[in-house]
Structure 1
Amino acid sequence: MMLSEKYLQIRKHSEQICEPLEREDYVVQPIVDVSPPKWHLGHTTWFFETFILEAFLPGYQVYNPAYNYVFNSYYETIGNRVIRTDRGNLSRPGVKEIYQYRAYVDAAMLDLLKAPISPKAEELLLLGFHHEQQHQELLLTDIKYILGHNPLFPVYSTTAFKLHHDQTKEREMISIKAGIYEIGYSGTDFCFDNELGRHKVYLPEFSISSNLVTNAEYLEFINSGGYKNFTYWHAEGWDWININQISSPMYWHLIDGVWHTYTLAGLQPLAVQEALTHISYYEAYAYASWAKLRLPTEFEWEVAAKSFDWGQRWEWTESAYLPYPGFSKAAGAIGEYNGKFMVNQKVLRGASLATPEMHSRITYRNFFHPQLRWQFTGIRLAK
């Protein structure tokens, strides 16, 4: 596929995700971790404009110089920006203008891609593709949070995305022999910088579940008093559930004695055989402790992943998000992409059913703070 075709395909998908939205949905920001959908559309456009068009298309005129302040996310190198908590306070630019901005930048990008581009420009273009795909997943999870915290529990779509996965196969524990294994990306296609620095690790013998934990299994944890027994929890996690009065996964609602969950198709009875999702690391750790098992490390996960079906949930691991040996940040703003977040976060491996096609790898390292659960997160146990 030509670069121009790939570009248009990815850009169109972002807009398809937003097609079911009402105009009012585009601006809502209920918590700091959730950005308004229109901000995602603007920010991904700003990325192509700032890092590619301004650098590689002679004579390019930016659509609006003020957008550098509005749509910069966290790039200190680029300059000041609207603080993250205030993204939902911006009624302007309006949705119509943001789509005009996308069209303006898309036209310029297609002009640039009419002729061969330099290796550096292509490298940034591929990063832009994967950056927008990251935001496509964030769009879905943020939209779900926006609608799922509306007391009307509005339907996003009943057909647009398959976001369910039943664990119907019989569970088994897959044994992995002790040994020295190589970890990290080794191919020639795109990967993020935090996957680089392929290196050897020694792993003692371990076993890992072939299946993700289901809603039914997690219900056993709830019904046995799992949220009321401090012995299963890290002290920080115990404080977190008590301060925030958390007693079930996000989007679960006990209605007239029956558990329901909010899905992108609206409020539904809990599908007990479906893979559990929307839980924090704290909850994942507590469940594993209750089950007398543990979470795998990210290295164990990567070594074992070829032996099980993965990609339905982002799976919490027991690994802190740290650089691989020899990791170095790129010069300039691009160097801010991953490296500066390598503190106080846990690694998640795999992908989710909200992850765009061709945007997942066994070596992909996602990372979140341990209390976050608005993403499609789940649990795979090890021992």
Structure 2
Amino acid sequence: MTKAKQRLPDKKSKITLRDVAQSADVSESTVSRIMRNEGLVADATRAKVMEAVRALGYVPNRIAGSLASLDTNLLGVVVPSLSNIVFPEVLQGINAGLKRTRFQAVISVSDYDMEREETLVRGILSWQPAAILITGFDHTLATRRMLDQSGVRVVEMMEIDSAPIDVAVGMSHRKAGYAAGRYLIERGYRRFGYVGHDWTADRRARHRYDGLSEALAEAGLSILAHAIADGSSSVGAGKQQTAQLRSMTDVDIAVYSNDDMAVGGYFHCLEAGVRVPEDLAIFGFNGLEIGRELPKPLSTLRSNRFMIGLKSVEAILEDRERPQTKTTIDTGFELFAGATA
């Protein structure tokens, strides 16, 4: 576009909204509406403005806008990990919910560190976001206070077993563990072992364990042996802990804290010549694709992770103001019978 090239400001100057308006020969308010995706604008005008935006390399100054209006289009998202497909699927749901809106997600990763989460939340809230989506109910006192007093919409994702600050979207992990226990008892299993990872960093796994234990207790059963890794979950940890479990006592089924660990258990059985499920049955949690692609598909519970992300966005878009009533949205879970239990 020759007009944009003719009106390029000096390279040392910051490209402004006014520069774009002059280049496209439209008003500054028109450029502002297009950049914020607000109001009706003719397609030809939008195309002309966006051509100028691209030619000039213009980036909107969100800080200036927030200082003027104390309102931004930012949506803060804090997740604990991106190391497996669980949280990327949640982010996919968030992205789907934000399409055709004017909101932009800013994603941060806490690495299951609550002190790190506190720092991230403080930084996000300093931008006066429209809302913040955060994982779980476990926060430092300072984080909870900041979220509670911020006045912005807060969605605590992945679980619903506690009272939320504002909105909780997810599933009951205790009920999931209980459902797994009932299913496996009905399948005839009686000698249960448990393979897990550090509960201090993942209390949702502990809730599933508690639900499983409750179901077993109702049937007069209990978990005979535990093999729990010190760190986070991984395929390697599952493989090692399965070997440890089998050295402790004779069990006919191992229930795992998640599918990563369960896949590791399956690999141990392949190497050790242990038949699955004849010699040792295996049951996981999460419903990961890798579990479905094993020679014998993994028996597991699947959480509706994409739906959690989507429903989280819908919850705050329906009402930008924090209501007096706290909301819980149950996205449920589904049992995948597989072939390992």
**TM-score greater than 0.5 by the shorter chain:** no
> Please, what TM-score do these two structures have when normalized by structure 1?
0.24
Q: Relative contact order: is structure 1 or structure 2 higher (C-alpha 8 Å, sep ≥ 6)?
A: 1
Whichever structure has more helix as a proportion of its residues is 2
Whichever structure has more strand as a proportion of its residues is 2
